[in-house]
Structure 1
Amino acid sequence: MKSQKKFKLLLIVFSVLFITISLHYAWDFREAEKVLKPYDGIDYLTQYNITVEFLEENMTIKASQKIVYTNQEAKDLNNIYLHLYPNAFRRKEEAPFEKKEMERAYPNGFDPGYIEIEDIKEGRRSVEYKIMGKADTILRVTPPKPLGPGETLQLSMDFQVKLPNTVGRMGYGDNTINITNWFPIMAVYDEKGWNLEPYYAIGDPFYSEVGKYDVTVILPQQYKMATTGNIVKVHEKKGKNIYEIEAELVRNFVMILSKNFKIQEASVGNTKVFSYSIDGLRGEEALQYGIDAVKVFNSLFGAYPYQQLSVVACDFFIGGMEYPNVVMISQDLYEIEEDFPLEYVVAHEIAHQWWYGIVGNNEIKEPWLDEALTEYSTLMYFEKKYGPHIKEQIFEKMIKAQYENYIDFEPDRGEGILRSLREFDSSWQYSSIVYSKGAMFIEELRAYMGEEAFIKSLREYFEVFKFKNATTEDFYKICEKNTEKDLKHLFNQWLNARN
């Protein structure tokens, strides 16, 4: 996700770059090297079968959901847990925004959002459940008997979500309705147990496994929709459009709706790239940036494995946000005269499709892992497209400049970039440490390892951990495997991590 602090630097950097960036450039897109054997499938995906209807008159969504969850642990599970992210928007004092952002997040004044669970059943029998956690964002379900290793639990639930009038991740503004983090989604159980962190105001407070989604969406006919997954069928009934959507090996499912979308598309190999712009404003440019980003990252890291990717203009004050197959881009960026800020944020959010979407990680406890790689991948996009001199200018005048500007006000206390979200005091601190200092670390790692070893490591990291969740230790081991140099000191120096 790109923050507002970065926008000012984007505009400053543009003033330096616009003379030097050529409109003509050459591509060298060779097929990404397969370093290890390709991903060979997961047979225990959590399955979500959802029927959802958007009710425009009261800005709510009404849904029925079935979940098939398999216990992959070597122990019985007495309870299972799901996230109820919409409840973070219920009370003003708990809304997931910093205080200084509230007026921008709620331009029309605070408006609550929430989810109401109507019932949860296993088969025909109601099961015990409890809503708990900070801001009531955790759902604990207690099956009639413990779920043993390898056993499967099938749950069905009905719920309604009231969308808030906010221009954040979930909510609506003048042009778009952002339906994200909206349904009960399984929490991750890993070596430390259930991950039940709240919806923090700083960073991207999400951690999820890939799953399989079959979703039926019912919309008023005047709305167009950008969505995760493949729309396999559309039909009309009683004045509404009914979409049948399939998505597999994705970490979430989102929809962005608008009456004002103009849609353009182009193909990159087996992937269709869509541009959803408001009344066509800068839609062609956004589409071209999307195409270029997919080409660059395919060649650098490995092929994007899905059939579609949507670049979506949104009422979204934060700048940009990544979701599976969908990148949200603030409408403000389309309205800026300069091209660079829009291109930078589109490239950054599309890089997240590789680092977060395909290769996952715990974005709460190790946010540097996807954000630093994504920020540096964005530099590599400009390097590949426009040349090393442009990449260097962006690195010096935006990446390093932000970090140096930050430590002018907040002296560096020797802390590393490996920190959890709860350890950051502000988005400015988070962006300066995780994005900027994180990208500075990757730049030094690249120089120290050498180009061949560095690129091979990124490709191997992508190939080994696609559709899985990786850790800092996993990334370190992949890099260590591909060089004879000792990386321990370098990693410790920047991350303060034990390797």
Structure 2
Amino acid sequence: MKRTLMFLSVIILTFNHISLQAQKSGIEPLKYNINIELNDSTLWVNISIKAIKAETGQKDFLLFNRYIQIKEADLNDAPLKYSRSNDTLYFESSQKGEMTLLMQYEIPCSTMEYSNIVASYSDSTFTYPVLFDTSQIFCERFNKWYPVLYDNFSDYQVTITVPKTHSVFAYYPEIGCKDIAGKYVYSFNCFDEDFPFFITQANIFQPKKVIQYNTTNYEFCFLPRNRRLLAIVDNKPVFTSDSKQIDSLLDVSINRSMAAIEWYNANLWQKEFKTLCFVETGILGLGACLGSFILMDRILMNMEAIENYALSHEISHIWLGIHTEYLAKGKFFMGESIPEYVNLLFYESWAGTDAFEKAIQDKINLKLFDVPFYTVTFEQVLNQKKGDPQADEIIYNKGVAFVHEFRKQIGKEKLLKIIRETYSVPNHFVTLNDFENNIKANDCWNEYLKLFEIEL
């Protein structure tokens, strides 16, 4: 089996006291300088971390995927003394206020098969550091493919070098792309909590569709498909191979995506985009909104044709649910349930009230593996973590049902007002406490408490 080797490099990281919890006042932003190179079938990187610390001598740690084997590691020119527990790398900090940590490691990625892992928000048992298929690689912090801390905004300076046969999509648009020694060198600069990126062969897509609407260039990169899902009849999939029907399905996705952005801008708050890319991927189970581009796997694109709102859910994350405090109570309610409900409000705007009510009722009457789904309390929803199909169904279905119940008590406009006030704060990790404070400020606390008295 061929293997793709992935060498990782973080050049400069500056921080004061490290904390796994939410970033506290007075902690310096992390500063990353990351250089990555794809050479043939190998992604090469070296790692150097510089740290300026307010305190010295204490035990420090970084989150780092347990499956990555460290080849070399030095701290201030001496071998690094470290220990590992699950996905945590512990090391003795330098007595100096400044330290330099050097690391080398590699991640092998199969070029013959798909990875079956999903993002891991806690320890990565059975979770590989990256998502990949035979022509694409996707990296984000939840798989801890680089030493990372959650709930810290950071400065990222990144270059990614790839052969001219490949393209790079990243969380923020590139600030430059140069042709150097026969390769493309993409440069990025951003201030955020992560820098996810996606490397793909460029020649696997259909000709790119580019549409300029208002001040935004929309770019759509679809995979060539001999057939696409057209309908579900008697619980059986119906596919079409007719090129005109396939083009029509893609046009629906294009038009609905632009309509969703227009609706979110009007009903949440205005965001400006110079370029927004939609990329269809062969990495199974991957759907993600990543700032300047949106990834949708081919199954989710099929769902869009049937359910009508799979793609616009990912678009909602441009506004809602990206920055939520790591593993805090209500993280996934804030990060997924509320964005999905707002997405359904967009669905209601074009599909009508009857279709919206049916969608809500389907979520309430959810069945899991053809077994009638039991009811849950709101407290269960708030404490729910990801990790298995039942957990996801509680988050994406029962959580949405509770948001709808709240909307029935306070009204749509008051709910949207509370959501805007909660999520629109820049450079902030949204918490359940933020949501509840805004509920109180809008005199809706008694209605909110009623959610804890019912099961859905």
Superposed pair shares fold, TM > 0.5: yes
Number of the residue aligned with 1:159: 105
Residue 24 of structure 1 corresponds to: none
Q: How does 1:96-495 map to 2 (within 5 A)?
A: 114-120=67-73, 125-126=77-78, 128-130=80-82, 132-134=84-86, 137-145=87-95, 155-164=101-110, 165-168=113-116, 170-181=130-141, 183-188=145-150, 208-259=151-202, 260-261=204-205, 262-267=207-212, 271-279=216-224, 284-304=251-271, 307-318=274-285, 320-334=287-301, 339-341=305-307, 343-357=308-322, 359-363=323-327, 365=329, 366-396=331-361, 398-402=362-366, 408=372, 410=374, 412=376, 416-421=380-385, 426-427=388-389, 429-464=390-425, 466-483=426-443, 486-493=446-453
Quote the offset at 1:437 in angstroms.
0.9
Q: AA paired with 2:82?
A: K
Deviation string 1:300-340 (CA, Å, 9 cap, x unpaired) is 2223366544322112322523444343211234467x723
Determine the C-alpha separation between the residues in 2 that align with 1:226 and 1:166. 20
Counterparts of 1:316 and 1:178 in 2: how far apart (Å)?
A: 9
Distance 1:323 1:70, change over 3 A: farther
TM-score, normalising length from structure 1? 0.67
Say if 1:230 and 1:247, in contact at 8 Å, map to a contact too: no
Which structure has the higher relative contact order (CA within 8 Å, separation 6+)?
1
**Residue segments in structure 1 that go unaligned for 5+ positions in a row:** 1-41, 88-113, 189-207
**Distance of 2:297 and 2:431 partners within structure 1:** 30
The code of the aligned residue for 1:163 comes to C
CA distance in 1 between partners of 2:321 and 2:216 (Å):
19
Report the TM-score when normalising by structure 2.
0.73
- Paired residue type of 2:160: V
Quick one: structure 1 residues 287 and 161, their matched pair in 2 at CA, closer, same or farther if it must change by over 3 Å? farther
Distance across 2 between alignment mates of 1:247 and 1:236: 22
* Paired residue total: 391
Where 2:58 maps in the other structure, the secondary structure is: coil
Check whether the contact 2:56–2:94 (CA below 8 A) recurs between aligned residues: no
Listed one character per residue, the Cα deviations across residues 74-115 of structure 1 (whole Å, up to 9, x for unaligned) are x77824332224x4xxxxxxxxxxxxxxxxxxxxxxxxxx53
The answer to whether the 8 Å contact 2:406/2:448 transfers is: no
- Give 1:179 deviation, angstroms: 3.4
Q: In terms of mean alpha carbon deviation, does 366-375 or 60-69 score higher? A: 60-69
3-state SS of 2:393 partner: helix
Residue by residue, what CA displacement relative to the aligned partner does 1:396-450 show, whole Å, maximum 9, x if unpaired? Answer: 2x3223269888254658862112427x6x31x2123111110011111112122
**How far off is 1:219 after superposition?**
0.9
Call closer, same or farther: CA 1:455–1:324 in 2, change over 3 Å.
same
> Cα deviations across residues 251-296 of structure 1 (Å, max 9, x unaligned)?
3322231231343344566554432222487665444333222222
Determine which of 33, 38, 41 is the counterpart of 1:54.
38
Q: Give, in whole Å, the separation in 1 of the partners of 2:252 and 2:344.
A: 19
Between 371-380 and 409-418, report the one with greater CA deviation.
Answer: 409-418
Distance 1:213 1:287 in 2: 31
Alignment CA distance shift 1:372-1:394 (3 Å): same
| 3-state DSSP of counterpart to 1:299 | helix
- Partner in structure 1 of residue 124 of structure 2: none
Query: What SS is found at the alignment partner of 2:106?
Result: strand
CA distance in 1, matches of 2:349, 2:268: 13
Query: Partners of 2:310 and 2:328 in 1: how far apart?
Result: 22
Q: 1:69/1:286 Cα in 2 relative to 1: closer, same or farther (>3 Å)?
A: farther
CA-CA distance at 1:385 after TM superposition:
3.3
SS in structure 2 at match of 1:362: coil
Distance 1:405 1:243, change over 3 A: closer
CA RMSD of aligned residues (A): 3.6
8 A contact 1:214–1:247 mirrored in 2: yes
Percent of residue pairs bearing the same amino acid type: 17
Taking the aligned partners of 1:360 and 1:309, their CA distance within structure 2 comes to 23
| Aligned position for 1:105 | none
